[in-house]
Structure 1
Amino acid sequence: MTTNANSTGFPYSLTAEVDVPVAAVWQAWTERDDYEAWSYSKPGSVELDVTPGGRYTSTVVTPDGTEFPITGRYIEVDAPRTLVMGMDTPDGGEEVMRLDVEDLGDDRTRFTISQNCATQEEHDMAKQGSQMLLDSCAAYVAKL
């Protein structure tokens, strides 16, 4: 199994700031119904066991209707600040993504997705997908 969390490669980091408390962002990432509502997941496909070593599954539906099953595990869970998730890859490896949630005060929150990819192509695809997730999550929590 390969893990790209600490390897040299092609890193990216994306950040959003929202006018909601930390708890709202954390809930959006860790509660099944909330996660399903904003993550482009097929209804009924999301399972989250948000504990270290716990598994997650989802079927993501792209704008053109293509479905992609996503599976992985939670490597680190430090509620309500950090999630480190390993996503299973077809070669039996694991791509690691990190979510950091920061309280800015006055019910304002910054959250950051970061990942280090093995190739430029993986970087470009992952960054595009993560930007979609970041934007969708920010829009979702703004309505809570």
Structure 2
Amino acid sequence: MSRNTPTQEHTYTLTRELDASAAEVFAAWTTPARYERWAGAEAGSVEMDVRPGGAWKAVMVVPGGHRVPIGGSYREVAADRRLVMDMEMPGAPEPTVMTMELAERADGGPTRLTLSQVCATAEERDMAEEGSTMLLDSLTAHLAER
């Protein structure tokens, strides 16, 4: 097996309970203007064609003010339930795959968001997990503002 072949060892999974419906969370993740507000994207840089095979892109502004262009395509789209996206990162030889799943409780309780990503190396996984944790913190704050 090649050193850069993604394995289960290089996967992370994060889970959050969000005080919002699955439809609200999905819209925050798939509407360019909303995504821009909470995800740290540069104004006007987010484009999303949310359908299987559709492309997405954004320029993220990371701590220190650095601009990082990211993008990819949607592999799977199940409204209010699941997104599977390829993510192309600068310097990465191949895209990684990120999956976002939503589970809404029948009793109206919090929506469970599960985010996972398969990375090529342990170092890439650690950096991606840190970035995704910050992303989910920001999403949680954004949904609390409504």
TM-score normalised to the size of structure 2? Answer: 0.90
Greater RCO between the two (CA within 8 Å, min separation 6)?
Answer: 1
The question of whether the paired residues in 2 share the 8 Å contact of 1:3 and 1:95 is answered with no
Shift of 1:9: 3.4
The question of whether the paired residues in 2 share the 8 Å contact of 1:22 and 1:107 is answered with no
Q: CA RMSD in A?
A: 1.7
Distance 1:80 1:61 in 2: 27
The structure that is strand-richer by fraction is 1
The question of whether the paired residues in 1 share the 8 Å contact of 2:88 and 2:96 is answered with yes
Q: How does 1:1-144 map to 2 (within 5 A)?
A: 4=6, 7-89=7-89, 90-104=91-105, 105-144=107-146
CA offsets 1:69-104 (integer angstroms, 9 cap, x no match): 001000100111000000124455210000001102
Flag as ranges the 4+ runs of structure 1 deviating above 3 A: 89-92
- Which ranges in structure 2 are unaligned for 5 or more consecutive residues? none
Distance 1:34 1:137 in 2: 10
CA offsets 1:44-82 (integer angstroms, 9 cap, x no match): 000011000100010000121000000100010011100
Matched position secondary structure for 2:133: helix
- Which ranges in structure 1 are unaligned for 5 or more consecutive residues? none
114-123 vs 41-50, which moves further: 114-123
Shift of 1:3: 8.2
User: How many pairs does the alignment contain?
Assistant: 141
Letter in 1 for 2:126: D
Matched position secondary structure for 1:9: helix
The question of whether the paired residues in 2 share the 8 Å contact of 1:22 and 1:101 is answered with yes
65-74 vs 111-120, which moves further: 111-120
The question of whether the paired residues in 2 share the 8 Å contact of 1:3 and 1:93 is answered with no
TM-score normalised to the size of structure 1? Answer: 0.91
User: Identical aligned pairs, as a percentage?
Assistant: 44
